[in-house]
Amino acid sequence: MAENTQLIKLIETEFKLINEGLEQQGKQTYRTAASQAQLLQVTPSALSHYKNSVRFMSRELAVQFAQKLRETLGTRNSPEEIEVLAAALFAARPVGSAAQAKAGDWLRGIGQPDHLLIGEFRDLPIIRPGLKLSDMSICLTEEISESIAKGLSYAMLFPYTKGLLMNDHLPRPFRELLARLYESLVATYLHILKGAIACSHGTSSLGHNQSGNVDTAVEIRNRFRIYSWRDNSDDQQDTKSKVLAGCPSTDNKTFYYVDPDKQIQTWQWISTPEGEQLIQKGYGLSVTAASEYYSEWKFYPLINYHNEYKTLPSNEQMQKFVDASIIKQPRLWEEIDLNVEEKYNGWFERLLNDVQSHKNEE
């Protein structure tokens, strides 16, 4: 990512004036990154991300920055002046660059506790079958596994109801396409989970008091789950009307990234001759500003639950959360229970055994 020189210059100019005024008054100044972040009410890492174009601020956050900067000295703080500064902060972008990143670098960069990634797939993920655990060169899975091991939460979404796989009203080719997509997502999920557990095997990198590898694996699994769209339609509804029972979208492979400041970014995954790239489609939508679509509707209640518990919910946890919530809306997702499918029965125990066997071979 390129430095956001426009934003850096705006912030440096404001703090220069603030510090000069505070020195004249004999008051404490804001010269360190930590003190500046504290004044702006963000974490130092978040402020660094904004300055280095890892993320872009929302309109809401730009107003917050402008108010804090201008109200500290009590000068140039009329509503009009604050609005002008907020508009400049919001519009600041790296000169001559697009919101684009190498996918692997970006995914490694978000591997931190309390960060949430949501991957929505309407196309087959890029994965080559038959690879061993020691060969972690599958496209992007190594990077995601490492980030999950470091604390990232990741919700992987199959944005259709599983009932569509057996819906005779669907054309057979489309039904077969959905089946391939489902099987590929499950295979990718298992591969990433195995990689994440392997990355953290025998370490304390998650920052928790670990009592063993099984506890570590369970902790990782609680932050990495796979979900399908939930059918909330009337059971008596005509089957034909359920043919398109899926999460509405116009994208194929899309990542939604939610940081601890509750800023949401939307990134489209594309393949180019130079490698895998992520193009930022939307930036600066906070959970508050976009609650109707992002939080209280499309992904409900995944983001809401993660904001409160820093993990991802099982079906039982989701339902309890929804029942207790003031948001009167049914949950839109359900965790895919692989144990109900005969070929996956006992999958988690087998996965742990595979990781342990691989470790013993090393």
Which residue did the predictor score with more confidence, 252 or 58? 58
Q: The sheet that has 116-121: what strands, in order across it?
A: 100-102, 275-286, 263-272, 253-258, 116-121, 153-158, 224-229, 333-335
Angstrom distance (rounded) from CA 287 to CA 258: 9
Angstrom distance (rounded) from CA 64 to CA 302: 26
Q: What is the chain's Cα-based Rg?
A: 23
Give the per-residue pLDDT at 274: 63
Positive or negative, the CA dihedral 144, 146, 152, 156 is positive
Condensed to tens digits (0 to 9), the pLDDT of residues 329-344 reads: 788 899 999 888 878 8
| DSSP type of residue 123 | S
Is 0.85 surpassed by the pTM of this model? no
| DSSP type of residue 292 | I
Condensed to tens digits (0 to 9), the pLDDT of residues 150-195 reads: 899 999 999 888 888 888 888 888 888 888 889 888 988 998 998 8
Q: Looking at this protein, which amino acid is placed at residue 82?
A: I
CB 296 within 8 A of CB 327: yes
Residues 6+ apart with CB under 8 A from 260: 43, 46, 114, 115
User: With left for phi above 0 and alpha for psi between -120 and 50, is residue 95 left, alpha or beta?
Assistant: beta
- Nearest Cα to 304, choosing from 110, 225, 292? 292
Q: Which of 87-101, 158-172, 246-260, 289-303 holds the top average pLDDT?
A: 158-172
